[in-house]
């Protein structure tokens, strides 16, 4: 079982003018996890000031990010050829960021102003559409002093009502279904109120009259031509933006990376303690790399900056508390650097979904790497479902970029291998049918389906000669028992890891009280249930054996409770049924397999026997039946396969998280995050330049 | 008769525990989705809480199998 990597605390001191190059060197080495300095930590020290280039870099970074947003470029994910660091730096300092910004903004502004123009023209167009229906010219609507003009649309033709008002002239467009009629009313100023009242009763909406002269239809034609022209111009402007984006994409992405790095470096002094003439960097470094740090500082910075080793932190929590009390709270928690081999490493993501392991805690990733795919494979337990899992998993491992898909690929690949092993050797199954054996009224076998007598050597390598049936009356009890035993072992392993954790953190006595008691109680509950099931006739057992089991169980339980009492109190007794629950929870390993086998059985029966007419109980071959059967077969098994990922995956994960990790894992560690430069699109030396990625 | 009663009993055991799991998961699931929307890093903890009630139906299944087998 692996612990996070051992950490040592170091202090790096130097004179203040050397701060900038020290920060650069620390980023270059990429092994130093900074301990943030807070203003009141030590007397005589203050937080450092950002490096001189930092404000300008921040300003430029903002500009570049704005440009990225305008152009829709995602810098971290972009596939652009790499640039050389020295070129990027030279271009940035010669004002290229500002030049790119200017070009991009120009293109964007042009597009925006054309789009704005089109919107305005569209508004005039809709106004003209209203006026077009009336027999008046645009200049007719204005230029009166004693006459008021109402122009707009109404709910329905109200010219009869308006005719009753003296001194009015009314124009109404012809009625068209589903369209509000246009209306223009000219009235002497003194009768304006009456017209206004009638119009508002008719839901009058005023339409502004655009400036201009001539018949609205003629003006409308001109406006439409203008809109078309602008739309063409808009397309050109959009193409120009794409052109600008293509032209500068490489630079923008590289500038973003370099400026992000500069800003990060520039602001690092804000985490460092300084006096008027010197600086002090407190940091964690993996113990194995302390010498490398000392050598690196000497090589890169020469004399004047010194590394002083402080301590290598042990795993006992009292040690950390003691240091925190003596030297300050910020030195209490060392960061956790994952310390796993190539396979277990792939399960770190699943662990981190719960929490990052503490420095003083065993990383559950290895236990997860062993049991998670094993449980997944057992629940799937079918050769045909396993093969696509393995292929998909292998593809995911090779090509998936995101952590989530990498994790899913890992489970599918390793789980798929287990599923294939269980499917072939243990269950002897493919697509829910046994390889060997005779067909019954409801079940098919490959031997019966293909009409081939499978030779004995093939059967000889499977349990029972034909595999364990997931649905057979005699085998279900065996499977349930098996999964209960697996559960007991998994729980004992979990408590054992918990025991090691507490022993390391607080010593043997605490470990016995906190985890040892529970470990013995699990044994007790298991023995007790074993004995009871024999005595109650749930399983056939020799009475003496059952009685011995019962006695061992009671004794172990009493010892367990006594041991756990100081740490847990009454909880130790109240939680005993919880242990039974935990153990029974593992029967899901058999249950999920059963549910899938049940579905497969049903689909196979419908597809092969009922529709396809295969086997001794089918009614013979027919084309229609064959096609329908094939459809049911494919869709049915595809559904089971997809459900398999969800149910087997989630339940296998749950057994890790709830039943196992709850027993030993607390988490809450701080992940090791060293200062380092991580360039994706920038390289140091010209000869490493890739061609188009 | 006893065998028939055992089958009915198995059905009740599965049915009611399934219903109970469903009711429990409905509430947990809704809250979990809400929490994950706020903070994706809660996914692991939310999933653990989400699948906790599923154990109820597993117990139901065990009882159902035992009642049929015995």
Span A240-298, pLDDT tens digits: 999 999 889 999 999 999 999 999 999 999 999 999 899 999 999 999 999 999 999 99
Look at B65 and A476 and tell me if their CB atoms are within 8 Å.
yes
A590 min Cα distance to partner chain B (Å): 10
pLDDT digits (tens, 9 = 90+) for A626-646: 899 999 999 999 999 999 888
Q: What is the pLDDT of residues A32-62, one digit of tens each?
A: 999 998 877 677 888 888 999 999 999 999 9
Beta carbons of A653 and B47 less than 8 Å apart: yes
What is the SS3 assignment for A135-181?
CCCHHHHCCCCCEEEEEEECCCCCHHHHHCCCCEEEEECCCCCCCCC
| Strand-pair category, A305-312 with A7-15 | antiparallel
Contacts of A537 in chain B (CB under 8 A): 70
Of B45, B51, B69, the CB nearest to A650: B51
Tell me if A476 and B70 make a contact (CB, 8 A cut-off). no
Q: Any CB–CB contact under 8 A between A473 and chain B? A: yes
**Structural contact between residues A380 and A423, judged by C-beta atoms closer than 8 angstroms:** yes
Q: Which of A478, A483, A591, A665 to mutate to test the interface with B (most CBs of B within 10 A)?
A: A591
Write the DSSP string, A450-475: HT----HHHHHTSGGGT---SS-HHH
* C-alpha distances in Å from residue A672, one per residue of A10, A55, A285, A324, A468: 15, 28, 9, 19, 47
Q: How confident is the model at residue A686 (pLDDT cuts 50, 70, 90)?
A: low
| Cβ atoms < 10 Å from Cβ of A682 | 22
Contacts with A, B 3-62, CB within 8 Å: 41, 43-45, 47-48, 51-52, 54-55, 58-59, 61-62
Q: CB–CB of A141/A151 below 8 Å? A: yes
Contact A591 B69 (CB under 8 A): no
**Among B10, B62, B63, B70, the residue to mutate for chain A (most A Cβ within 10 A):** B62
A-chain CB neighbours of B52 within 8 Å are 658
- Asked whether the beta carbons of A446 and A430 are under 8 A apart, the reply is yes
On the CB side of A490, CA atoms within 13 Å amount to 31
Domain A124-222: top CATH class: alpha beta
| pLDDT at A1 (0 to 100) | 59
Q: How far apart are the CA of B35 and the nearest CA of chain A, in angstroms?
A: 14
Express each pLDDT in A131-184 by its tens digit: 888 888 888 888 888 899 999 999 888 888 888 888 888 888 887 888 888 999
Q: pLDDT value at position A125?
A: 92
Chain A residues with CB-CB distance to B65 below 8 A: 476-477, 480
Buried b / exposed e across A441-475, counting CB within 10 Å, b at 16+? eebbbbbbbeeeeeeeeebeebeeebbbbbbeeeb
Mean pLDDT, rounded, for B1-27: 91
Q: Tokens standing for A637?
A: 């098994």
Q: Any idea what the Cα angle at residue A65 is, between residues A82 and A70, rounded to 5°?
A: 100
Q: In terms of CA atoms, which chain A residue is nearest residue B45?
A: A354
B62 and A650 in contact by Cβ < 8 A? Answer: no
d(CA A650, CA A647): 5
Q: Rounded to a whole number, what is the distance in Å from the CA of B34 to chain A's nearest CA? A: 17
- Contacts for A557 with CB less than 8 Å, ≥ 6 apart: A521, A524, A525, A528, A576
CA distance B45 to B36: 10
Cα distance from A55 to chain B (closest Cα, Å)? Answer: 32
Contact A657 B44 (CB under 8 A): yes
CA distance A174 to A135: 11
> Taking all residues of chain A, what is their mean pLDDT, rounded to a whole number?
89
Q: Residue A102 belongs to what H/E stretch?
A: helix A96-132
pLDDT above 70: percentage of residues in chain A: 98
Q: Where do the domains of chain A lie?
A: 7-94+248-331, 124-222, 344-506+575-663
Test B54 with A355 for CB contact under 8 angstroms.
Answer: no
Is the predicted pLDDT of residue B45 greater than 80, yes or no? no
Contact across the interface for B47 and A657, Cβ inside 8 Å: yes
Using an 8 Å CB-CB cutoff, list chain A residues near B58: 584-585, 587-588, 591
Facing residue for A585 by CB, picked from B41, B55, B65: B55
pLDDT digits (tens, 9 = 90+) for A507-523: 999 999 999 999 999 99
- Phi first, then psi: give them for residue A461, nearest 5 degrees: -95, 0
Q: B65–A480: do the CB atoms touch at under 8 Å?
A: yes
Map residue A84 onto helix, strand or coil: strand
Chain segment A420-446, per-residue pLDDT in tens? 999 999 999 999 898 888 888 888 888
H or E, element range at A312: strand A305-312
Question: How far does chain B reach from its first CA to its final CA, in angstroms?
Answer: 14
* B50-B21-B63-A581 Cα dihedral, nearest 10 degrees: 40
Tell whether B1 lies on the interface with A, counting CB pairs under 8 A: no
- Contact of A548 with chain B, judged by CB distance below 8 Å, is answered with no
What's the CA gap between A44 and A38, in Å, rounded? 12
- Asked whether A393 and A368 are in contact (CB, 8 A), the reply is no
Per-residue pLDDT band at A692 (split at 50, 70, 90)? very low
CA distances, A369 to each of A87, A349, A401, A410, A413 (Å): 45, 11, 20, 9, 12
Residue A505 has pLDDT above 90, yes or no: yes
This prediction has a pTM of: 0.80
Give CA angle at A611 (A605, A612), nearest 5°. 90
Please check whether residue A180 touches B, CB under 8 A: no
pLDDT in tens, A171-222: 888 878 888 889 999 998 888 888 899 988 889 999 888 888 888 989 999 9
Each residue's pLDDT tens digit, A93-117: 898 899 999 999 999 999 999 999 9
Closest CA to A132 of A173, A177, A170: A173
- Taking the CA of residue B55 and the nearest CA in chain A, the distance in Å comes to 6
* Residue A533, pLDDT score: 87
- Alpha-carbon distance of A39 to A271, in angstroms, equals 10
DSSP A321-378: HHHHHHH-GGGS-PPB-----TTGGGGHHHHHHH-PPPTTS--THHHHHHHHHHHHHH
pLDDT of A399 higher than 80: yes
Q: Is A167 left (phi over 0), alpha (psi -120 to 50) or beta?
A: left
pLDDT at A687 over 70: no
Shortest Cα–Cα distance, B17 to chain A (Å):
14
**Distance of alpha carbon A615 from alpha carbon A401, whole angstroms:** 47
Nearest of A515, A550, A511 to residue A530 by alpha carbon: A550
User: CB of A545 within 8 A of CB of A532?
Assistant: no
The shortest CB-CB distance from B55 to any of A353, A477, A581 is to: A581
* Cα A186 to the center of its chain, rounded Å: 67
Question: Which of B6, B35, B48, B52 would you mutate first to test chain A, the one with the most A CBs within 10 A?
Answer: B48
Q: Is any Cβ of chain A less than 8 angstroms from the Cβ of B65?
A: yes
Q: What radius of gyration do chain B's Cα atoms show?
A: 16
pLDDT-derived band at A671 (thresholds 50, 70, 90) equals very high
Instruction: Measure the N-to-C terminal CA separation of chain A; round to a whole number of Å.
Output: 40
Please tell me if residue A471 touches chain B, with a CB cutoff of 8 Å: no
pLDDT in tens, A311-355: 999 999 999 999 999 888 889 999 999 999 888 999 999 898 888
pLDDT at A29 over 50: yes
Residue in B41, B48, B65 nearest the CB of A657: B48
Mean pLDDT of all residues in A375-404: 92
Q: Which tokens sit at B27? A: 């509430």
Chain B interface disruption, residue of A404, A481, A646, A657, most B CBs within 10 A: A657
Residues whose CB falls within 8 Å of the CB of residue A187, separated by 6 or more in sequence, listed in order: A147, A148, A150, A165, A167, A168, A169, A194, A195
Mean pLDDT over A476-489 rounds to 92
CA Rg value for chain A: 39
User: Which of A134, A138, A217, A130 minimizes the C-alpha distance to A169?
Assistant: A134
CB of A105 within 8 Å of any CB in chain B? no
User: Which residues are paired to A306 by β-bridges?
Assistant: A13
- A476 in contact with B at a CB cutoff of 8 Å? yes
Residues A461, A425 contacting (CB under 8 angstroms): yes
Strands A278-286 and A273-274: antiparallel
Q: Left (φ > 0), alpha (ψ -120 to 50) or beta: where does A431 sit?
A: left
Q: pLDDT (tens digit, 9 = 90+) per residue, A563-605?
A: 999 988 898 889 899 999 899 999 999 989 988 998 999 999 9
Q: CB distance A584–B58 less than 8 Å?
A: yes
Nearest-neighbour CA in chain B from A579: distance (Å): 13
From CA A460, how far away is CA A424, in angstroms rounded? Answer: 12
Query: How many angstroms away from the CA of B37 is the closest CA of chain A?
Result: 15
Task: Copy the structure tokens of residue A44.
Answer: 């005589």
**Domains of chain B with CATH codes:** 2-69 (1.20.20.10)
Q: Please give the share of chain A, as a percent, with pLDDT higher than 90.
A: 55
Whether residue A369 has pLDDT greater than 80: yes
The secondary structure of B17-69 as a DSSP string is HHHHHHHHHHHHHHHHHHHHHH-GGGHHHHHHHHHTTHHHHHHHHHHHHHHHH
Residues of A in contact with B70 (CB under 8 A): 537-538
**pLDDT of amino acid A82:** 86
| CA gap A350, A650 in Å, rounded | 12
DSSP sequence for A628-693: HHHHHHHHHHHHHHHHHHHHHHHHHHHIIIIIIGGGT----PPBP-------SSEESSGGG--S--
CB distance A651–B44 less than 8 Å? no
The reply to whether residue B44 touches residue A354, judged by beta carbons under 8 angstroms, is: yes
């Amino acid at each position: 079982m692996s612990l996070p990597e051992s950490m040592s605390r170091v202090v790096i001191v130097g004179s203040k003018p050397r701060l900038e190059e020290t920060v650069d060197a620390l980023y270059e080495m990429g092994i130093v996890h900074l301990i943030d300095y807070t203003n009141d930590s030590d007397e005589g020290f203050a937080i450092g000031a950002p490096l001189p280039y930092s404000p300008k870099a921040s300003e430029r970074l903002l500009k570049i990010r704005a440009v990225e947003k305008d152009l829709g470029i995602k810098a971290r994910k972009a596939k652009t050829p790499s640039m050389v660091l020295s070129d990027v730096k030279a271009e940035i300092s010669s004002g290229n960021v500002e030049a790119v910004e200017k070009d991009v903004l120009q293109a964007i502004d042009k597009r925006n102003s054309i789009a704005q123009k089109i919107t305005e023209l569209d508004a005039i167009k809709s106004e003209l559409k209203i006026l077009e229906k009336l027999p008046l010219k645009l200049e007719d609507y204005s230029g009166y002093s004693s006459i008021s003009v109402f122009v707009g649309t109404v709910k329905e033709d109200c010219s009869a009502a308006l005719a009753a008002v003296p001194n009015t002239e009314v124009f109404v467009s012809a009625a068209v279904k589903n369209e509000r009629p246009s209306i223009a009313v000219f009235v002497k100023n003194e009768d304006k109120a009456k017209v206004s009242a009638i119009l508002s009763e008719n839901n009058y909406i005023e339409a502004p009259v655009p400036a201009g002269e001539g018949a609205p239809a003629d003006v409308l034609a001109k406006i439409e031509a203008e809109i078309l022209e602008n739309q063409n111009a808009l397309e050109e402007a959009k193409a120009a933006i794409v052109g600008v984006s293509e032209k500068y994409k490489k630079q923008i992405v590289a500038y973003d990376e370099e400026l992000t790095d500069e800003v990060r470096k520039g602001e690092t002094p804000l985490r460092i303690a300084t006096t008027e003439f010197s600086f002090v960097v407190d940091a964690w470094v993996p113990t194995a790399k302390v010498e490398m740090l000392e050598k690196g500082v000497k090589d890169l910075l020469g004399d004047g900056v010194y590394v002083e080793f402080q301590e290598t932190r042990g795993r006992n929590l009292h040690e950390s508390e003691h240091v925190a009390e003596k030297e300050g709270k910020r030195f209490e928690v060392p960061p956790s650097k994952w310390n796993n081999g190539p396979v277990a490493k792939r399960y770190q993501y699943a662990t981190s979904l719960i929490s990052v392991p503490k420095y003083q805690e065993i990383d559950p990733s290895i236990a997860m790497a062993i049991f998670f795919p094993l449980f997944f494979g057992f629940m799937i337990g079918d050769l045909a479902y396993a093969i696509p899992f393995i292929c998909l998993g292998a593809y995911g491992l090779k090509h998936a970029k995101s952590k989530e898909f990498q994790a899913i690929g890992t489970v599918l690949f390793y789980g798929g291998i287990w599923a294939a092993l269980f499917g072939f050797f243990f269950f002897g199954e493919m697509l829910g049918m046994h390889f060997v054996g005779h067909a019954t009224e409801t079940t098919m076998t490959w031997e019966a389906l293909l009409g081939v007598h499978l030779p004995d050597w093939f059967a000889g390598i499977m349990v029972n000669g034909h595999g364990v049936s997931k649905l057979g009356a005699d085998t279900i009890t065996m499977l349930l028992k098996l999964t209960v035993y697996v559960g007991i072992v998994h729980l004992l392993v979990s408590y054992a890891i918990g025991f090691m954790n507490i022993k390391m953190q607080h010593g043997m006595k605490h470990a016995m009280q906190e985890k040892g008691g529970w470990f013995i109680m699990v044994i007790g509950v298991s023995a007790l249930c074993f004995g009871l099931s024999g005595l109650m006739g749930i399983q056939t057992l020799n009475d003496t054996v059952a009685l011995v089991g019962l006695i061992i169980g009671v004794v172990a339980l009493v010892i367990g409770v006594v041991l756990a009492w100081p740490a847990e109190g009454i909880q130790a007794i109240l939680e005993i049924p919880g242990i039974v629950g935990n153990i029974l929870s593992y029967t899901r390993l058999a249950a999920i397999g059963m549910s899938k086998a049940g579905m497969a059985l049903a689909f196979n029966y419908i597809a092969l026997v009922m529709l396809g007419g295969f086997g001794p109980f089918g009614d013979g071959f027919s084309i229609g039946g064959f096609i329908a059967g094939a459809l049911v077969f494919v869709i049915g098994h595809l559904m089971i396969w997809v459900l398999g990922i969800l149910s087997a995956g989630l339940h296998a994960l749950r057994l890790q998280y709830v039943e196992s990790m709850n027993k030993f894992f607390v988490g809450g560690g701080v992940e090791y995050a060293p200062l380092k430069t991580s360039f994706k699109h920038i390289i140091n030396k010209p000869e490493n330049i890739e061609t188009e990625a | 008769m006893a065998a028939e009663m055992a089958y009915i009993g198995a059905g009740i055991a599965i049915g009611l525990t399934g219903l109970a799991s469903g009711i429990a998961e409905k509430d947990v699931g809704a809250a979990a989705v809400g929490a994950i929307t706020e903070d994706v890093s809660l996914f692991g903890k939310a999933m653990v809480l989400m699948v906790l009630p599923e154990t109820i139906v597993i117990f139901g299944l065990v009882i159902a199998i035992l009642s049929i087998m015995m």
